[in-house]
Structure 1
């Protein structure tokens, strides 16, 4: 529905209601009550409220940076003063390398890459759909490869649980590092994205992606620091809050709390910084912040609905069914491939790679042990599938935030990105079969 009607909210709500209708034995009254209860429960959970708060505050920071003249100063610095970004390729490579260097949290990565690069890609005639593709294709893949973040913490915990249960033998960190070496989808996605940028490859819907050329939109000329300092602070604060919420261990920190606190502090810092530098008054800064929040309300609503439908598919036991179905028809040589495909379907359906890891890891590891398969290879298949499905899903938070940061329609982003993601997924599939035989 989302792809064909272009109405994400209506489509998500339809999926939620249909799932609850099945769960409540086709009772309209019970379904109505269950729908109300589901949203009430979701809005009672701190991590969901913090994630929604993050999405809203993104609008505040973006609009503050724009009105400070920081983006105009950055464009002048890299394009005119030093002639660093002088082509469409260079503007996309900027987004690509930002996505690789800022690997602490996928949402922050997409936000910064899109916000910084969008004015430059616009000025060089690059479609925002292509920028959204680059932001999305670097954020989650890099975070899943360089797991010095919440991704690594989750995976370590899931592997450690299997060791404590006696299913696995060894050190969890060693197993995780070996598994990351088999994260074929993330690797192929990064290579494909670079090749697409370097050779300007447009396939499928990307050929017809709209190029925004708005001559009325002018970025005020200001200091480059008005953009750079808030962004640097944002990156530093994420690490700091991960350290604080993890009681001294970054890997154990809370991602939702860290990005929420980061956005609050960065917003307040930006308003005070611009006041002290004579750019805008406190009153003007607060007004702009609320304007930015208002613009992000539709995005936050989509995120809330995405969390809801993920909850419904979990209640329906979709993942457990797929895994049990596959276990009856598997050959050890195709175990990694099937785990990759199942994880992809689950992640696409729920819009969450982390949820997929949590469901599939306890299923895939015992299956691999029982069948004598290579454990790190199978875990790598779970990671790859989780990232692949999440990458393609119109209800994924990274998909939504990448589109938001690039100011691209969510459905257009999904349609234009899908062919490239499928190519990377095909490469990963072949690699899993080859390494299973090896």
Structure 2
């Protein structure tokens, strides 16, 4: 079953169940079981052993603790504790009251959240969780649904980090490009220069960022998002009241302290940002061989360790502030327990996403899709669009942008070097763009899960409400890649893509106003 069309079954089954049942744990679990059965020719005992081994290796790998995964899970728990302290201290409420006097409209609150997503470009995990903590008090006060906030976070985090050379994503991609250029004898352009030149070819990322601002300013609530926004505006309910508590939501758990100050929110978050960035710089510099540069630092930084260090210091800071507050104040033990409990749903989803990702990797789903591209005899003019679509479907099926980069960038380089070297940078950029598109559409992406967590939104609500916007940006980018292929231009395809995004947004805005 490995490396064949049957390897697509678990991913497709999972996605169908997500749409039909809206139960992400059931859908992921079914996909895992189906994949394990395919791996072991429907032997139930061997399939159960396979699943057990995968879960075991999430925590223990090659005889030692899998520190990367454990640190990320630990950071999520720390984030839950910090969120609980921010809520109980009254800091979130005070910040919301302060910001609502300065940002007086729902449009402004959404736009500010998007700007924060662009500014915090160091890492997608860090972006998703930090922006949620900062923006949520403001968006809550303006009755912006959590699904809308999750969309804003997700559609700025990955698109920004994938075009920023000074980020964990940028450093990783530049490292891959460097190896590819050596392997294919490309010496007339350096990997950093190539990455920078690929930015205007990354049509989906740029289109998605533009669309976030258009959605805010044109009040463009389409598909499932419309119901969430209407409920939030009319009733003040930011979440579907029929659903269970979502990660990071402590609205009804604590009565906010009456003596809460803005600094009770801003200082712990500032400490989180500063400590995490400093830790990333230190771990990256220590792990760099030879000359240490900003690129080598971000290529070698330990993101999960840095997040854990930053989270620990931020929690200690919020704990100290809680201790200094005048009575009445909530019991610190209860705050910690409730904070831990809010993160459990996100951790369950993340563990199952890692498990099905391993199953899909064993089935060689990505390699099967890549082989289709490698074996196809297609005109070079179609390559950018083809790589965009294949990378999108691969990221959708496997739930990993980084894995898709690793598989598809070498194929894009090899194919274009042989067929048409002028399509090298557009095709590699199309791989990056397609990977982010697929990442936005799948419920098993780490970034998508953490965007839901950061916003305090129901995960499936986030996936389904973001999907129409992702498709809109992808259609526009697809047309742009066709133009690139047949004209070999840079500026015109980018302008065409952004104009198409703008035109579709204006048409939808006009139709919405006409109906109302």
TM-score by length of 2: 0.80
Tell me, yes or no, if structure 1 residue 338 matches structure 2 residue 386: yes
Counterpart-to-counterpart distance in 2, 1:246 and 1:3: 41
Q: Select which of 282, 288, 296 maps to 1:244.
A: 282
1:35 to 20, 39, 51: 51
Matched, 1:326 2:373: yes
Deviations 1:7-54 (A, max 9, x none): 111111111111111111221111011110111011222211222222
Q: 2:439 aligns with which of 390, 393, 407?
A: 390
Report what 1:58 is aligned to.
79
**2:8 equivalent in structure 1:** none
Give the Cα–Cα distance (whole angstroms) in 2 for the partners of residues 432 and 199 of structure 1. Answer: 26
Corresponding residue number in structure 1 for 2:214: 195
The answer as to whether partners of 1:99 and 1:139 remain within 8 angstroms in 2 is yes
Q: Deviations over 1:269-289 (max 9, x none)?
A: 2212432455898x9435412
SS in 1 for 2:170: helix
1:181-213 alpha-carbon deviations (Å, 9 max, x no partner): 311111000111100100101111112124262
Matched, 1:406 2:455: yes
**Relative to structure 1, is the Cα distance of residues 415 and 290 closer, same or farther in structure 2, using a 3 angstrom cutoff?**
same
Counterpart pick for 1:259 among 307, 327, 335: 307
Q: 2:341 aligns with which of 290, 294, 303?
A: 294
How many residue pairs get aligned? The number is 434
Query: Is the Cα–Cα contact under 8 Å of residues 306 and 350 in structure 1 kept in the other structure?
Result: no
Query: Partners in 2 of 1:368 and 1:409 — Cα distance?
Result: 42
Instruction: Describe how 1:9-88 pairs up with structure 2 within 5 A.
Output: 9-44=25-60, 45-79=66-100, 83-88=101-106
Whether 1:351 and 2:399 are equivalent positions in the alignment is yes
User: Is 1:362 aligned to 2:410, yes or no?
Assistant: yes
Structure 1: any 5+ residue segments left out of the alignment?
Answer: none
Contact 2:365–2:398 (8 Å) recurs in 1? no
1:381 has 2:430 as partner = yes
The answer as to 2:127 corresponding to 1:109 is: yes
Q: In the aligned structure 2, how far is the partner of 1:174 from the partner of 1:117?
A: 34
Question: 1:241: how far off?
Answer: 1.2
Deviation at 1:154, TM superposition (A): 0.8
Q: Which runs of 4+ in 1 moved over 6 A?
A: none
Question: How far apart in 2 are the matches of 1:426 and 1:268?
Answer: 46
Given that 2:91 and 2:263 are in contact with CA atoms closer than 8 Å, whether structure 1 keeps it comes out as yes
Corresponding residue of 1:204: 223
Match of 1:433 among 482, 498, 501: 482
The whole-number CA distance in structure 2 between the counterparts of 1:358 and 1:8 is 27
Partner of 2:317: 269
| Higher mean C-alpha deviation, range 393-402 or range 336-345 | 393-402
Partner deviation per Cα, 1:249-283 (whole Å, 9 max, x = no partner)? 234202222212221221122212432455898x9
Check the 8 A contact 1:148/1:251 in 2, yes or no.
no
User: Residues 202 and 430 of structure 2 are in contact (CA less than 8 Å); yes or no, is this contact kept in structure 1?
Assistant: yes
C-alpha separation between the residues in 1 aligned to 2:349 and 2:312?
Answer: 21
For the residue of structure 1 that corresponds to 2:162, the secondary structure is helix
Give the gaps of 5 or more residues in structure 2. 1-16, 61-65, 239-250, 287-296, 488-516
Q: How far 1:387 sits from its partner (Å)? A: 0.8
3-state SS, counterpart of residue 395 of structure 1: coil
Q: What's 1:224 paired with?
A: 262
Please report how far the alpha carbon of residue 60 of structure 1 lies from its aligned counterpart in structure 2 after TM superposition.
Answer: 1.0
RMSD of aligned alpha carbons: 2.0
Cα distance in 2, alignment partners of residues 143 and 276 from structure 1: 38
- CA pair 27-93 structure 1, distance change in 2 beyond 3 A: same
Residue among 171, 174, 184 paired with 1:156: 174
- The yes-or-no answer on 1:213 pairing with 2:240 is no
Deviation at 1:345, TM superposition (A): 0.8
Rounded to whole Å, the distance in 2 between the matches of 1:220 and 1:352 is 41
TM-score normalised by structure 1 residue count: 0.94
Distance in 1 (CA, whole Å) between partners of 2:179 and 2:328 is: 52
2:509 counterpart residue number: none
Q: Kindly state the Cα deviation for residue 122 of structure 1 after the two structures are TM-superposed.
A: 2.8
SS in 2 for 1:247: helix
CA distance in 2, matches of 1:14, 1:329: 36
